[in-house]
Amino acid sequence: MSINTENAKKIRKPMEVYCGIVAQMQGAEYPADFSASDDKLIDADYETTLANTDWPARHIVDFQGNGTPLDGSYTWYDASEVPSINNGKIGVRGHVDTPLVFTISNTAVGSIPAISIIGNNIDRIEFDGETYSGSEVIIPLVSGDYTETATVYPISGFRAEISDLIPGIIANFDNSNLISCTVAMRGDLTDSPSWQISDIEIKAYMPQNLESIIPNMADDSPIWYYAGYDGDYCETRKFYLAEPAKQGGNIITIKGEDASARLDNYNQQPQIVAAPRNTARRVAYNKFKQLIESAGVKLRESERPPAVSGSNKKERIIVLHEATARDHVANIMNLGHYGTFWPQFTDAGIPKVTWSKPTPKWLINESDIGDHVQTYTRKTARITSDDENGVTSTVTKSNSWRTITEPFDVTANQKVIQNYSDMFWAYSVANQKTRMWSTANSVAYVTKRATVKNSNGTKSYQSYVRGKRVIITPAEKNLQSPGGNIGGVLKLQNIVHGQLQDGSAYFFPRPSIIFDRQPVCGSFRFKGDPRWMPRDVFTMRMMDGSEHVCMVENVTLVHEGGGTYADVTYRQGVI
């Protein structure tokens, strides 16, 4: 069964949805001790393997129960295989029909409010006079210094297996306990876009009362989600807890954001980026990628940089002004698309960077969608800027040294940070031992020797800074659409000056690309496909037979009441 086959049906089978959260709470020490347990197999470093919930439990040949299924997914147990995310783990596995006994400890200082156990073939766990049923349990702990015995009873004929045991909460949801799961995946295809964060909201049935425990789940605890049909699931999306989880009655609500929320964490300092024409696209793409990674976004996929091609003459320079990674990323995706060079960052739980111009991935028939509404945005006819350097500019390097600071007295090994209003591409620092860092308008260094006053009244070993400036020259004050004067005026906020050139064309920043955009936007409701991403390109086949290439702006995918649908907004063209 595949998502495509089901989507082709008028009425498709209910989609299988899986999601959950892993909220580790770091206590004073790992709370479980298996050293005295009578286990059949156990990882040597079980504290590490049990706490790594994303390491899969190995499917090994085992004679418990009915034996090992011959579906090809099982391997032979190999004690020499080191547990890892790729090799998987053993965890702790008891004897058949024999309880697995271990101890759980808590401490008064750094007290843990709960532990979560995920296992297999577990009938029940008895701890501190309470009984917890099933193979996924959350055990609330009272604070204080104590050690209690936990007894894990296996299902008859099987061995109890524990694969994950963490201080904190693991909650897994599927169709059996999920009330709704909404994944809002956002882009911004307007003419002056800002980066949009995608998010997830899970509402699920939780019979256990964890009202006092779940608010302790730490921000950024990973939330995962995937959906599809047996044998064909979408890639697992990963979000991070963005606000305290809540439980009201038996319903738990969890909200998370994608990793792109971290783009605000990185502030790009003023920087000169220079590149000859043959590597300009590569340099721009690498800078784009570095902005995202510096913000703490771990990319799951990134396209190899563009190849070096063409002339290595005529170096072009841009100045990146101080702004967050979020602003720079949005700016590059708005003004840095030209020809086949189309740097794109998409997240929505699957952070990915590409530079090749996207092509249609999906075909949507207007007859298959509901509530299709087309809207028309105002075309941009003129681009202006309040910037004294205009809408576009050129940046050149001066080769003459210019004094930035007059000589001043220093002590040995003194840390000096100098900030300036002008921009410089090279520095020369007198009496410098080491350079800590430099940007286009600041330099930080450690001095070498202390300033001394000579007998004739002059001073030796003072420090001063000289630099070679970059000069920004306005190029175009305004840009007028070649299509005429029909449309609105867009005022650009320049956070980049200069332009990078590839071959004969300036490609970043290239504000005139905004004139190429089509004003047709739209929205519709679709069956819902968990593989869709913001900025996916699709072909819309209209009722009249005409076809239009469109780009997804937002997708809100809703799983609710056993059904799935998606509300999609789009803009015609490839933005």
Partner 1 sequence: MAWQEPVTTWGDTYFTHEDMNRICGNINYLCGTTLKDDYTTDDIPSRQDWAQVLLNVGNMVNGFNLPLAIPNYDVTPQNLELVESGINEAFKYIQRRSASATARRYVGSGYSAQQPPQNYVR
**What does the binding site for partner 1 look like in residue numbers (CB under 8 A)?**
40-41, 60-72, 74-79, 93, 95-96, 157, 159
Strands, E assignment, 389-423:
392-397, 402-408, 415-419
Burial code (b: 16+ CB inside 10 Å, e: under 16) for 386-413 equals ebebbbbbbbeeeeeeeebbeeeebeee
Least Å from the CB of residue 181 to partner 1: 34
Minimum CB–partner distance for residue 67 and partner 1 (Å): 4
Tell me whether residue 28 or residue 41 sits nearer to partner 1 (CB atom): 41
Tell me which residue of 57, 27, 19 sits closest to 168, measured CA to CA. 27
Of 93 and 531, the one with the shorter C-beta distance to partner 1 is: 93
Question: To the nearest whole angstrom, how small is the minimum distance from the Cβ of residue 136 to partner 1?
Answer: 23
The helix/strand/coil state of 186 is strand
What's the one-letter identity of residue 228? G
Q: Between 96 and 369, whose beta carbon lies closer to partner 1? A: 96
Q: How far is the CB of 81 from partner 1 (least distance, A)?
A: 9
Q: Which is nearer to partner 1, 154 or 336 (CB)?
A: 154
CA distance 426 to 272: 10
Element (H, E) at 248: strand 237-248
Minimum CB distance to partner 1 smaller for 159 or for 281: 159
How far apart CA 333 and CA 354 sit, in angstroms, is: 11
Asked if 476 and 497 touch (Cβ cutoff 8 Å), the reply is no
Q: Is 484 exposed, middle or buried (0-12, 13-18, 19+ CB in 10 A)?
A: exposed
Q: In this structure, what is the dihedral angle of CA atoms 500, 502, 504, 505, given to the nearest 10 degrees? A: -60
- Residue 119 or 140: which CB sits closer to partner 1? 119
Number of other CB atoms surrounding residue 264 within 10 Å: 14
| CB closer to partner 1 out of 74 and 408 | 74
- Compute the least distance from the CB of residue 150 to partner 1, in Å: 22
How far apart are CB 61 and partner 1 at their closest, in Å?
6
Q: What is the DSSP string of 502-570?
A: ETTEEEES-GGGGGG---EEEEEEES--TT--TT-EEEEE-TTS-EEEEEEEEEEEEEETTEEEEEEEE
Residue 513 Cβ vs partner 1, minimum distance, rounded to whole Å = 54
Residue 165, amino acid = L
Residue 364 contacts residue 460 (beta carbons within 8 Å): no
Q: How far is the CB of 344 from partner 1 (least distance, A)?
A: 41
Q: How many Å apart are CA 284 and CA 366, to the nearest integer?
A: 38
Tokens 């090809």: give the residue: 72
CB of 62 to partner 1, least distance (A): 5
163 versus 392: smaller Cβ distance to partner 1: 163
In 10 A of CB 485, how many CB atoms? 8
Tell me whether residue 41 or residue 369 sits nearer to partner 1 (CB atom). 41
Of 59 and 510, CB closest to partner 1: 59
Please give the radius of gyration of the chain, using alpha carbons only, rounded to the nearest integer: 30
- Least distance from partner 1 to the Cβ atom of residue 86, Å: 17
| Integer Cα distance of 214 and 212 in angstroms | 6
